Structure 1
Amino acid sequence: MPIGQNADSLLPEILFTGAGDPAADRAVLRMASSGQLRKLHAGVYTSDLTSPAQMVVLRHWSSIVSHLLPDGVLSYRSGYDTKPFEGSLYVTRGNRARTIELPGLTIKVIPGPGAVDGDTPYKRLFLASQPRWILENLATGRGVSERVLSRYALESELDKLLSIRGEHRFNQLRDTCRTLAVKMGREKEFKRLDGIMGALQGTYDNRKLHSKQALARAAGRPYDPDRLVLFDALFSYLRAQPLPEVAAGAEMGTARGNFAFFESYFSNYIEGTTFLVSEAEEIVFEGKLIPNRAEDSHDILGTFQAAMQPPWRDQPPRTSDDFLLWLKSVNALVMRSRIDKNPGEWKNENNQTGSTLFVARELVQGTLREGFERIQALETALARALMTMFVVSEVHPFKDGNGRTARLAMNCMLSAAGQSRIIVPTVYREDYLLPLKSLSSHADAAPYVRAMVRIQAWTAAFDYARPRPELYQALKQCHAFEEDLKNYRLVFP
């Protein structure tokens, strides 16, 4: 339907003049003069008469820029962001620098070459290819700093590319950038890029690097920056929350043995190593191996030993090096019979659960070290324990046994401070795992901390010094062993 006053209910939100249709231009100008349209810029109008003008512009920035600057290339940091950043957009076009001001958006037009091989058409614009925006963001000179990524951000992006794509693809990118630099006159920028990429790979002087992430890789300790965002979310929440101090009540004799037994039983059950309680008792207290289940039997026994004996029970690591050794030793103890799982060795291939992809194998040690820095900076035992458990769970550093290792590491922090260890019973499985997933997926720490505070209080509410059959009945009355989570919920004694 032609643009006209009888079509105002069907008007698009953005209308343009100057597109080569004089009749359409006259219709737009008539509606603008009658108050049916608002002028946003010369040749740019909107039928939205109520929303703030800057909101309309930001909703339709790509169409507006396509109209005002056809064949322009989103360049420099706009090539990376592919959207306005802090109200500005950078477009390479023509041979004259200028600035276009719209409500809520400043377009900086930078003289330079138009689209080259690799740039992607987008409406009537082009998006700079990855090699192009990388080179452009290494430009220097007067007034350039506002339109380029910070050196730290660019190094972090290159570190991420190396981590995800590997050295072969990384070197292919460097070769493509070298060829493009000659075509675009960016030889100086490529020289800087070559130094950064070489330093990341350890072949050039790492003094060329600035960002912590890039320096960590050059030092042989690369880490996963996305996980650090999650670690910091939990770290900040734990520092701000007053957490309870629940004294340990099962430190000696029968109580200690009973507690370690049920801790081991449930920690294995939640991972799918399931036994009858009577079978688990035979394994732990009588040295029996269940026929055809020798490996599962050793899993139960190894977890029990780690929950009972120092250093795994109550001597937490004091340095990041100790932290890595501690984790390897406890995983080796728990998984010792599963030779195919490489007990006590860092994973040799990436792992995932469902859609959750854990930290890449080459980033495991560096990410654990970063996590340990945050663990040590927390003041209370429960905060350190919850941080420890999440760090190990989120990194998933081993081929198998990660959940058991994470919970033992958590409980070691608690025992060292004289605080109650935590048992996660079968009936609480989803109350434990779903908050962990929420933290991992959405950086929402509150459900995880609430769930763990609750289960610690529940754990501490039993008398572990009573005979084990009586303790079993008390746990059973609280639905601890129930797998039917629709009909049973955790009950406090």
Structure 2
Amino acid sequence: MLNTSLTKLDALKAKLDQYRPLDLQVVNNLHENLVLQWTYHSNAIEGNTLTLKETKVALEGITVGGKTLREHFEAINHRDAILFVDELVSKQQPLDERTIKSLHQLVLKNVDADSAGRYRDINVLISGATHKPPQAIQVPEQMQAFIHWYNTEANALHPVERAARVHGEFVKIHPFVDGNGRTARLLMNLELMKAGFPATVIEVEQRLDYYQALDNAHCSGNYTDFIALVAQCVEKSFAPYWWALGIEAKVAKHLEELGYGS
């Protein structure tokens, strides 16, 4: 079942590749929408109370009444982190600890300067999760092992599976005091985008399924459910491209001919 999903995603990517390079206006319009959706949902998952429209206003530099300064900074920081991911994609930047710390520094800029870009020196628990992250003293060693895994075993994985596993293995270590979830989703999309897939948004409405699939993966070592969830999100992330290109019906017919239905 999972292999079928991944093969379907390959077919969707191949279809999108036929239309590349996309018109610059289309690219800019899609990117603007992506930044807003990704920023809103990723922050909302972590408890930020800005609505989608309030997030749009905050990104335009306007203060929203009744919302904290921290919530405004979280929106602006996340936008800046996405722009940094775009740079890394253009350079095909391989994952390393420096890149991870730089991303995290952007996520927590003006929010928690002491923790931004620095591995935690305290032990933490993930609220509501069965999995317990490693003790603080083990974090540097486990992050080195994570990067080694990325540079060796991860290369053999399908890009979508690799992106999901990067997210999962990173957040399992929980190397920072705060901002791990947002950083994990940025790293996941860094991998997807480097491989030519669209950036994907895990929506706040999926939070329960998302947390459960992650916790199950961390406790059992079986990532099937989490990879399937990410694969569903990736499939959905192609939809704005089909709309912008005016080829929704054509893509549906193409999938049907390949045996995937509509």
Name the TM-score, length of structure 1 as normaliser. 0.42
Give the alignment partner of residue 428 of structure 1, picking from 195, 203, 206. Answer: 206
Query: Helix, strand or coil: the match of 2:150?
Result: helix
- Whether 1:311 and 2:87 are equivalent positions in the alignment is yes
Equivalent position of 2:123 in the other structure: 350
CA contact under 8 A between 2:120 and 2:175: conserved in structure 1?
Answer: yes
Q: CA deviation at 1:350?
A: 1.0
Give, in whole Å, the separation in 2 of the partners of 1:254 and 1:464.
Answer: 13
Residue 197 of structure 2: aligned partner: 419
**Residues in 1 aligned to 2:119 and 2:160: alpha-carbon distance in whole angstroms:** 27
Structure 2 SS opposite 1:255: helix
| Cα distance, 1:254 vs structure 2 | 1.3
**1:260 alignment partner, one of 11, 14, 35:** 35
1:289 matched to 2:51? The reply is: no
Residue 437, structure 1, aligned to residue 215, structure 2: yes
Deviation digits for residues 234-256 of structure 1 (CA, Å, limit 9, x no counterpart): xxxx99x9553353799821111
SS of structure 1 residue aligned to 2:96: helix
Give the one of 322, 333, 340 matched to 2:106.
333
Check the 8 A contact 2:88/2:190 in 1, yes or no.
yes
Paired residue type of 1:290: V
Whether 2:181 is the aligned partner of 1:385: answer no
Q: Which runs of 5+ in 1 are unaligned?
A: 1-237, 467-492
Task: Render the CA deviation track for 1:105-162: whole Å, top value 9, x for unaligned.
Answer: xxxxxxxxxxxxxxxxxxxxxxxxxxxxxxxxxxxxxxxxxxxxxxxxxxxxxxxxxx
8 Å CA contact 2:160–2:230 kept in 1: the answer is: no
Indicate the percent of aligned positions where both proteins have the same amino acid: 20
Q: CA deviation at 1:421?
A: 1.3
Match for 1:403 among 172, 181, 185? Answer: 181
Distance 1:267 1:313, change over 3 A: farther
- By percentage of residues, which structure has more strand? 1
- Following the alignment from structure 2 to structure 1, what is the Cα–Cα distance between the partners of residues 134 and 90? 27
Instruction: Give how far 1:465 is off.
Output: 7.6
Which residue of the other structure, out of 416, 438, 454, is the alignment partner of 2:232?
Answer: 454
Q: Which has the larger radius of gyration?
A: 1
Q: Report the counterpart of residue 80 of structure 1 in structure 2.
A: none
Deviations for 1:140-186, whole angstroms, at most 9, x for unmatched residues?
Answer: xxxxxxxxxxxxxxxxxxxxxxxxxxxxxxxxxxxxxxxxxxxxxxx
1:362 corresponds to which residue?
Answer: 137
Q: Is the 8 A contact 1:385 1:411 kept in 2?
A: yes
Give the alignment's Cα RMSD to 1 decimal: 2.8
What is aligned with 2:54?
279
Compare the two structures and name the one with the higher helix fraction: 2
Distance 1:315 1:349, change over 3 A: farther
* Residue of structure 1 equivalent to 2:96: 323
Alpha-carbon deviation of 1:290? Answer: 3.1
Using the TM superposition, give the Cα deviation of residue 463 of structure 1 relative to its aligned residue in structure 2, in angstroms: 4.4
When residues 242 and 255 of structure 1 are mapped into structure 2, their CA distance, relative to the original with a 3 A threshold, is closer
The structural deviation recorded for 1:347 is 0.8
Q: The residue matched to 1:358 in structure 2 has which SS? A: coil
1:446-472 superposed Cα distances (whole Å, 9 cap, x missing partner): 111111111211222234986xxxxxx
What is the rounded CA distance, in whole Å, between the counterparts of 1:330 and 1:464 in structure 2?
Answer: 30
Cα deviations by residue, 1:312-337 (Å, 9 ceiling, x for unpaired):
5555643xxx6111111111101101
Aligned partners of 2:34 and 2:141: how far apart in 1? 34
**Count of residues paired in the alignment:** 225
Amino acid at match of 1:382: V
C-alpha distance in structure 1 between counterparts of 2:142 and 2:186, whole Å: 19
* Aligned-residue offset at 1:341: 5.6
Return the offset for 1:409. 0.6
Instruction: Go from structure 1 to structure 2 and tell me whether the alpha carbon gap of 1:431 and 1:327 turns closer, same or farther (over 3 Å shift).
Output: same
Judged with a 3 Å threshold, the aligned counterparts in structure 2 of structure 1 residues 289 and 334 are, in CA distance, closer, same or farther, namely farther
Query: Mean Cα displacement is larger for which, 399-408 or 357-366?
Result: 357-366
- Per-residue CA shift, 1:266-298, capped at 9, x if unaligned? 0000110121222111111x2123355111111
Distance 1:359 1:259, change over 3 A: same
**CA separation of 1:252/1:264 partners in 2, compared to 1, >3 Å: closer, same or farther?**
same
Task: State the partner residue of 1:47.
Answer: none
